């Protein structure tokens, strides 16, 4: 995709977009956070933590603190959501081998995570932080949700007017086009099946703009390509050294365990859209989430042709310029320690 010099200058001159990232810090979350911290077009107002890549909310919060510190943004607020509910013996566990036992490829201690990272989080809950920040700056803050949508749904319960206060919601979740129907169950993507009621509540709440990055677009990206390009361009960068180390677990799992040809940079897609929307094509659609199906609970269902006669509620990301994606990621890493 060609970007002219004049359009690039306009992108650089645009005022920074204020965002809150709702995250369950595993490995692709880490890359998404580094991209956000390295972009001059984004200001990260806070990190709200949700259970997803593991059920220990304090461990996920500790990972967020470590990642922010490595990126030179140790002062960013980190707010915990509710701890995961006990879903019973039949609940399907997120396979820890994807992200390692510590959520960061078993490299967290090596790169400086300490016991202090497990304490002294922001006093507000994740949901309250979202509500208060958006209420204080109506129409100015975008929510970037890269885990289950539990915190955003909880914020909606606290403040039903939230859809009128939020600038935009950008979600990594679902599977609405292509052959990729699910990665947690045969029918459902992990973030949506992690809390289907929350996903349905957020998609149907009436936010003024919802952008959906589903498996169809995230599988057009490649974590190994990001690692290789960063390592070649910035071999002495502390951030890049961490990226190279933590991503090996993720890449090996996809290729050796799942038999995939590459490891998709799922969560990175949402932040990249915030920075470079010109790298993507989109298509409007109505998307909702199945809540009752014995085999399909958590499945994202898309009405491309308007047969439900309901208003469009999403802009679905359809394609991404993979080369531009890698180039922009490396450019952001140049701005980090």
| Nearest of 173, 178, 176 to residue 190 by alpha carbon | 173
List beta partners, residue 142.
Answer: 19, 168
Backbone angles phi, psi at 9, to 5 degrees: -65, -40
* Contact by Cβ (8 Å): 76, 46: yes
Displacement of CA 316 from its chain's centroid (Å): 15
DSSP H helix total and E strand total for the chain: 13, 9
C-alpha to C-alpha distance for 63 and 82, rounded to whole angstroms? 16
C-alpha to C-alpha distance for 149 and 156, rounded to whole angstroms? 11
C-alpha to C-alpha distance for 195 and 76, rounded to whole angstroms? 26
Active site residues: 266
In a 10 Å sphere around its CB, with 0-12 CB exposed, 13-18 middle and 19+ buried, how is residue 149 labelled? buried
Joined together, the tokens standing for residue 294 give 């014995």
C-alpha to C-alpha distance for 107 and 86, rounded to whole angstroms? 28
C-alpha to C-alpha distance for 22 and 125, rounded to whole angstroms? 12
* Contact by Cβ (8 Å): 291, 300: no
Joined together, the tokens standing for residue 228 give 């290789």
């Amino acid at each position: 995709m060609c970007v002219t010099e004049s359009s690039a200058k306009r992108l650089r001159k645009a005022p920074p977009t204020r965002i809150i990232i709702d995250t369950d810090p595993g490995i692709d979350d880490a890359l998404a956070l580094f991209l956000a911290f390295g972009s001059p077009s984004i200001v990260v107002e806070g990190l709200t933590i949700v259970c997803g890549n593991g059920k220990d909310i304090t461990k996920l919060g500790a990972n967020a603190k470590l990642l922010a510190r490595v990126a030179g943004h140790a002062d960013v607020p980190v707010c915990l959501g509710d701890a995961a509910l006990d879903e019973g013996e039949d609940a399907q566990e997120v396979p820890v081998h994807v992200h390692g036992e510590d959520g960061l490829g078993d490299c967290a201690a090596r790169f400086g995570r300490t016991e202090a990272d497990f304490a002294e989080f922001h006093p507000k809950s994740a949901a309250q932080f979202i509500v208060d920040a958006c209420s204080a700056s109506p129409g100015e803050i975008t929510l970037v949700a890269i885990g289950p949508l539990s915190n955003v749904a909880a914020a909606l319960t606290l403040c039903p007017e939230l859809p009128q206060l939020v600038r935009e919601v950008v979600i990594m979740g679902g599977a609405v086009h292509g052959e990729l129907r699910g990665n947690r169950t045969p029918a459902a993507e992990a973030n949506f099946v992690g809390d289907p009621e929350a996903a349905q509540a957020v998609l149907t709440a009436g936010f003024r703009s919802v952008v959906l990055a589903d498996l169809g677009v995230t599988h057009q990206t490649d974590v190994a390509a990001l690692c290789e390009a960063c390592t070649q361009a910035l071999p002495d960068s502390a951030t890049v050294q961490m990226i190279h180390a933590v991503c090996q677990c993720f890449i090996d799992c996809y290729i050796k365990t799942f038999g995939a040809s590459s490891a998709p940079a799922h969560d990175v897609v949402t932040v990249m859209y915030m920075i470079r929307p010109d790298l993507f094509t989109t298509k409007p659609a109505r998307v909702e989430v199945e809540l009752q199906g014995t085999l399909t609970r958590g499945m994202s269902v898309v009405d491309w042709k308007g047969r439900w006669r309901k208003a469009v509620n999403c802009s679905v990301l359809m394609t991404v310029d993979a080369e531009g994606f890698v180039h922009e990621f490396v450019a952001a890493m140049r701005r980090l320690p």
